[in-house]
Amino acid sequence: MSLLDSASHRRLNQLTGEWVLVSPHRTSRPWQGQVEKVRHADRPRYDPTCYLCPGNERANGERNQPYKGVFAFDNDFAALTSQASAQNVVHDGLLVALSEPGRCRVLCFSERHDLTLSRMSVAEIDPVIEAWREETMRLGALDMINYVQIFENRGAAMGASNPHPHCQIWATHSIPNEAVKESIRQSAYLERNGSCLLCDYLALELRRAERIVCRNDHFVALVPFWAIWPFETMVLPTRHIGAFDELAAEEASAFADILRRLTIRYDNLFETDFPYSMGFHQRPTDGAPHAGWHFHAHFYPPLLRSASVRKFMVGFEMLGEPQRDITPEAAAARLREVSEIHYLDRTV
């Protein structure tokens, strides 16, 4: 037994510079708290009341095209608008505010209301990746946009407002906090070591193998050494790619493959529609080279022990720092153990 699997310790997140507290001895404590409802994947292929299904009316009265495959539109309740001018400033001593222009988009992965990434084929996910690339490039090319954040909230437990497979894209004038932290750490590492932080980290993880979940020729899915959420993962390209625009065709397909396999493993873990927030971190679009930036996806799933018991980020996590019980190594082993055939497709 080493320090890492028996005694309380802190691990450093190399991407953000923040620490996470790990308490491996605590996993056997009893649970009498909230129980999440288990959701069964028994949705219809088309839901006449869904505002994302083809041909249906959205909340603002506009009608979706009778689309097949991917479909993107401007968010009707956008958190950011292009009207806000970046010049507007409030600076009164300790009161500092800056207006924030931007764009918000919604992107449906499929016309099918009942699908999820885990239930789509690689051929069906390919156009989703192409749309992520196009949206990134088109929005990133706008003068006022310096960062493009793509994210998916999946499941009611993560606040998704609708089960129809979709993600959101928020393109901002400012680089948001999480991306700033990772940017600073990645460029400092490059300056200090002359190599990329995530290239070096990935090489180390591949050597040790204990936190790898699955891989293919171009991508690796792993539980980061510093993971906060019980089954948190990161997906990294093996080549040093900064953003979607650098993905070669075979890499895009390999990305579809790994996203499909990882989300199937997630669903199989507790035989449920596994909830998560996931998204991509990529090079800012402010025109600077950002040579240290290594493109990656983060999956932040809340479930802890079953389809009904989730982790809460409260108490010490809110006031002190994130804490976890199950170790990243144990979580990776659990994710490795489960099948890559979706439980709903199993014949026996």
Q: How far is the CB of 340 from Zn ion (least distance, A)?
A: 27
Residue 53 in contact with Zn ion, rule: CB under 5 A = yes
Q: Which of 52, 221, 235, 243 binds Zn ion (CB under 5 A)?
A: 52
Q: What is the DSSP string of 72-86?
A: EEE-TT-S--TTS-T
Nearer to ligand H2U, 106 or 236 (CB): 106
Nearer to ligand H2U, 14 or 168 (CB): 168
Q: How far is the CB of 136 from ligand H2U (least distance, A)?
A: 18
Where are the strands (E) in 116-242, listed by range? 147-154, 166-172, 212-215, 219-222, 233-237
Residue 157 in contact with Zn ion, rule: CB under 5 A = no
Nearer to Zn ion, 164 or 311 (CB): 164
Residue 153 in contact with ligand H2U, rule: CB under 6 A = yes
Stretch of 45-53, 128-136, 199-207, 278-286 lying at the interface with Zn ion (CB under 5 A): 45-53
Which residues, including other chains, have CB under 8 Å from residue 99's CB and lie 6 or more apart?
A: 84, 85, 86, 87, 88, 89
Q: Which residues pair with 291 in a beta bridge?
A: none
Q: Smallest Cα–Cα separation from 266: which of 88, 117, 147, 120? A: 117
- Of the residues 164, 166, 173, 218, which is catalytic? 166
Q: Smallest Cα–Cα separation from 303: which of 6, 116, 38? A: 38
Residue 217 in contact with ligand H2U, rule: CB under 6 A = no
Tokens of 173: 């004038």
Q: What is the DSSP string of 3-60?
A: HHHHS-EEEE-TTTS-EEEE-GGGTT----S--PPP------S--TT-SSSTT-B-TT
Q: How far is the CB of 78 from ligand H2U (least distance, A)?
A: 7
Residue 161 in contact with ligand H2U, rule: CB under 6 A = yes
**How far, in Å, CA of 188 to CA of 193, rounded?**
9
> How many residues sit in the footprint of Zn ion (CB under 5 A)?
6
Q: Which of 136, 146, 168, 268 binds ligand H2U (CB under 6 A)?
A: 168
Q: Are the CB atoms for 178 and 18 separated by under 8 Å?
A: no
Residue 76 in contact with ligand H2U, rule: CB under 6 A = yes
Residue 50 in contact with Zn ion, rule: CB under 5 A = yes
Stretch of 14-22, 110-118, 273-281, 323-331 lying at the interface with Zn ion (CB under 5 A): 110-118
Q: Which option in Zn ion, ligand H2U, none does residue 59 bind, with CB closer than 5 to 8 A by kind?
A: ligand H2U
Within positions 96 to 115, which residues make up the interface with ligand H2U, using CB under 6 A? 106
Q: Which residues pair with 147 in a beta bridge?
A: 172
**How far, in Å, CA of 220 to CA of 214, rounded?**
6
Stretch of 74-82, 84-92, 189-197, 298-306 lying at the interface with ligand H2U (CB under 6 A): 74-82
**How far, in Å, CA of 277 to CA of 156, rounded?**
11
Q: Which option in Zn ion, ligand H2U, none does residue 53 bind, with CB closer than 5 to 8 A by kind?
A: Zn ion
Q: Which of 103, 105, 113, 281 binds Zn ion (CB under 5 A)?
A: 113
Active site residue 166: yes
Nearer to Zn ion, 28 or 60 (CB): 60
Max Cα separation, the chain?
A: 67
**How far, in Å, CA of 66 to CA of 57, rounded?**
11
Q: How far is the CB of 106 from ligand H2U (least distance, A)?
A: 5
> How many residues sit in the footprint of ligand H2U (CB under 6 A)?
12
Q: Smallest Cα–Cα separation from 118: which of 332, 308, 333, 340? A: 340
Query: Which sequence positions are flagged as catalytic?
Result: 166
Residues lying near ligand H2U in the complex (CB under 6 A) are found at 51, 58-59, 75-77, 106, 153, 160-162, 168
Residues lying near Zn ion in the complex (CB under 5 A) are found at 47, 50, 52-53, 113, 164
